[in-house]
A and B are shown apart, each in its own frame.
Chain A
């Protein structure tokens, strides 16, 4: 007779061992680039392409990235670029939430002729390669005087964040029973008050998840800041690549250090709201 398992225990079988090994292999495979980047960030110039694991680690690259020398190499203050990215992305996510949450609520609650087309159009912002629209955007931004400004970046990042917020949250609102709001309406609530006090609190995990995803997508965007900013509103993704050097003088170690520093804010944010994220992403997953 098989031994009874305690709660949390599972039976060890050949299949489960193989499955575990495959998961470990997958983790090693998927995390190896990060490990490689960390190792590279700890190497000096001479070691950066000549060694694999045996070298004397140094934190100088992180210091250089944030120092005047880093600024001399790239003409950009990396710390300032990080801060600019934070402002751009927080601004973009806030605008997307302020506009996108009511839009998602409306899209989830009402159907009318063309409503699906409207949603499809919003999603289509993500269809076209960014480079396809970048020339007209560049001209428009210069004409309007918002080239190389944070306002300009917050605006253009709506192309990235808004569809994400609206599409994710629409499914949340669709999953919510409308009877809750109808009960509130019967109690004399206005439609806006019912939305704010009844529906909205129930989709908070979804808002957190979509906001985080939108933040990460905005943070990692490269083409828009590459073309639509120069030194004043340079973001972290563009600043990182400036450490690559050129003309035979490559600073892979500095680039890796800068990329690791650049990955910290979304990582910290993700860990901070991990609870909401897991709940938010699984919400609506079993929708019929």
Chain B
């Protein structure tokens, strides 16, 4: 039996009210921050105009900034160079790394909190469509245009056009990429092409397939389930990232389009005749010549199978496959080669890209120092040094033509592939703020078709739902 003290004058209703109030505090706080729109005007005001006088790398000597990154060959290439930035500017850099799987969770939280904890962060172009509208990102165009803030040698136009436009948008419905603010500067990127096992292709005298139908045939012929080898690996998991590499590239080459825009109204077009025909073929390819657990596949599984000799081809990012060709990195190291993948019926090599870019936190309290860092990291000198030490597609034409080509000797077809597709490489998606939600729904539709759903009716259903969502 427990002892009883004098009851406190606390009724259940009062207690619940108190608990409710306490519980509401974090919820209200959560609603109050990061919902976009107005926010703190001082924090979101562009800082470029405050920089006057002549450009000086040492203008902020003694300052320190923090950058948020995710582990990646680009990041690793630049890591040893950070001390050179400090020598050049006198600015100390603290680089914080977060694993890729949780990177955007942390970044989203930070940006929503508007504390400016990190001044510079790595981002993909699609994320600009989500982080830009709430005012979380600094427009870098005024910084580029300000000669007091930007060195004469910066040469922004040297960055590939497809990349510059991919990171530029005005966030207006119906507007194409390439309009509005420059929300990030492309730092490293990848084209989505085909890596293949050259040893096996050469042994069997197989020619590289030029059309998608030939590609399907070759992949099917190379599939030998009894010996645990199959024709081609590409992503199939329930994620937006399943759509953007190989699928979107070939989808576009085959004449597919995600949305059509009329004024400010979008209509989903992933159920057009061309799209349905292509989707049906793509899913059949996954069934007949893809990995047996395709619906769980992300790029590590795809590239792992290529390196192990299980997959004969991978349709994914070029720079996701090259590490497997480094000596000692995989069983098939030294046996891999690249080609653009099949052309479309009209000879199109339209290719979707991914770019890791550097962006400035709009809430940063050290914007000029942050811009000096972005300017240095995306400049010719640092990028030349980084690509000389580590293999990563540089975003500048001068760097690609300069130091980068010298590193390509052991990577057959890589250079030719790059040169073939670069002029048609850009983001092939329609920019829109519901990108992740609607594109994940697209991946789910592929999985449903893989599981037996009728392609036409499932894509009709998807198109109807996505049209409603993005016009809301």
Binding site for B on A (CB under 8 A): 44-46, 49-50, 72-76, 108-114, 117-118, 121, 124, 128, 131-139, 142-143, 147, 174, 178, 226-227, 230-231, 238, 241-242, 244-250
Which listed residue, B3, B109, B328, touches A135 by the CB 8 Å rule? B109
Which listed residue, A134, A231, A246, A250, touches B96 by the CB 8 Å rule? A231
Question: CB distance A46 to B328 under 8 Å?
Answer: yes
Question: CB distance B15 to A114 under 8 Å?
Answer: yes
Find the B residue at minimum CB distance from A240: B99
Residues of A with C-beta under 8 A to B204: none
**A144 smallest CB distance to B (angstroms):** 11
In chain B, positions 30-65 with a C-beta closer than 8 Å to chain A are 30, 33-34
Question: CB distance A75 to B19 under 8 Å?
Answer: no
Find the A residue at minimum CB distance from B392: A247
Which listed residue, A50, A114, A128, A238, touches B12 by the CB 8 Å rule? A114
CA distance A179 to B96 in the complex (A): 57
Question: CB distance B304 to A49 under 8 Å?
Answer: yes
Total residue contacts A-B, CB cutoff 8 A = 173
Question: CB distance B330 to A135 under 8 Å?
Answer: no
- Interface-facing stretch out of B139-147, B247-255, B317-325: B317-325
**Is B397 engaged at the interface, CB distance under 8 Å to the other chain?**
no
A73-B71 in contact given A49-B308, A112-B7, A113-B8 (Cβ < 8 Å): yes
In chain B, positions 294-319 with a C-beta closer than 8 Å to chain A are 299-300, 303-304, 307-309, 317, 319
Question: CB distance A242 to B2 under 8 Å?
Answer: no
Find the A residue at minimum CB distance from B80: A72
Question: CB distance A248 to B109 under 8 Å?
Answer: no
Which listed residue, B19, B80, B97, B321, touches A121 by the CB 8 Å rule? B19
Residues of B with C-beta under 8 A to A241: 99, 101-102
With contacts A76-B97, A249-B71 known, what are 18 further pairs, Cβ within 8 A?
A: A46-B328, A46-B330, A46-B331, A75-B96, A111-B5, A112-B4, A117-B16, A132-B26, A133-B30, A138-B110, A238-B98, A241-B101, A246-B71, A246-B99, A247-B392, A248-B317, A248-B321, A249-B73
Residues of B with C-beta under 8 A to A137: 26
Residues of A with C-beta under 8 A to B356: 247
A178-B94 in contact given A226-B106, A247-B72 (Cβ < 8 Å): no
A246-B102 in contact given A46-B329, A75-B79, A110-B2 (Cβ < 8 Å): no
CA distance A139 to B40 in the complex (A): 14
Question: CB distance A114 to B322 under 8 Å?
Answer: no
Question: CB distance A248 to B324 under 8 Å?
Answer: yes
Scoring A111, A143, A174 by chain B CB atoms within 10 A of each residue's CB, the highest score goes to: A111
**A91 smallest CB distance to B (angstroms):** 23
**Is B117 engaged at the interface, CB distance under 8 Å to the other chain?**
yes
Question: CB distance A138 to B15 under 8 Å?
Answer: no
**Is B293 engaged at the interface, CB distance under 8 Å to the other chain?**
no
Question: CB distance B308 to A109 under 8 Å?
Answer: no
Residues of B with C-beta under 8 A to A117: 10, 12, 15-16, 19
Residues of A with C-beta under 8 A to B317: 247-248
**B231 smallest CB distance to A (angstroms):** 19
CA distance A72 to B115 in the complex (A): 28
CA distance A147 to B101 in the complex (A): 22
**Is B105 engaged at the interface, CB distance under 8 Å to the other chain?**
yes
For chain B, give the interface size range. 35 or more
Residues of B with C-beta under 8 A to A111: 2, 4-5
Residues of B with C-beta under 8 A to A45: 328-330
Residues of B with C-beta under 8 A to A118: 15
Question: CB distance A135 to B34 under 8 Å?
Answer: yes
CA distance A136 to B22 in the complex (A): 13
Residues of A with C-beta under 8 A to B323: 247-249
**Is B11 engaged at the interface, CB distance under 8 Å to the other chain?**
yes
Residues of A with C-beta under 8 A to B392: 247
**B73 smallest CB distance to A (angstroms):** 5
CA distance A247 to B74 in the complex (A): 9
Question: CB distance B113 to A135 under 8 Å?
Answer: yes
- The 4 closest A-B CB pairs, nearest first, are A248-B320, A136-B29, A241-B99, A114-B10
**Is B333 engaged at the interface, CB distance under 8 Å to the other chain?**
yes
CA distance A21 to B301 in the complex (A): 35
Residues of B with C-beta under 8 A to A245: 71-72
Residues of A with C-beta under 8 A to B19: 117, 121, 124
Which listed residue, B5, B97, B190, B304, touches A74 by the CB 8 Å rule? B97
Which listed residue, B2, B96, B333, touches A178 by the CB 8 Å rule? B2
Question: CB distance B100 to A244 under 8 Å?
Answer: yes
CA distance A147 to B110 in the complex (A): 12
Which listed residue, A44, A124, A138, touches B115 by the CB 8 Å rule? A138
CA distance A249 to B329 in the complex (A): 9
Residues of A with C-beta under 8 A to B299: 248
Residues of A with C-beta under 8 A to B8: 112-114
**Is B1 engaged at the interface, CB distance under 8 Å to the other chain?**
yes
A226-B102 in contact given A114-B8, A249-B323 (Cβ < 8 Å): yes
Question: CB distance A178 to B1 under 8 Å?
Answer: yes
Scoring A135, A136, A226 by chain B CB atoms within 10 A of each residue's CB, the highest score goes to: A135
**B254 smallest CB distance to A (angstroms):** 26
CA distance A230 to B115 in the complex (A): 14
Question: CB distance A139 to B33 under 8 Å?
Answer: yes
Residues of A with C-beta under 8 A to B428: none
Residues of B with C-beta under 8 A to A248: 73, 299-300, 303, 317, 319-324
**Is B446 engaged at the interface, CB distance under 8 Å to the other chain?**
no
**Is B70 engaged at the interface, CB distance under 8 Å to the other chain?**
yes
Residues of B with C-beta under 8 A to A75: 79, 95-97
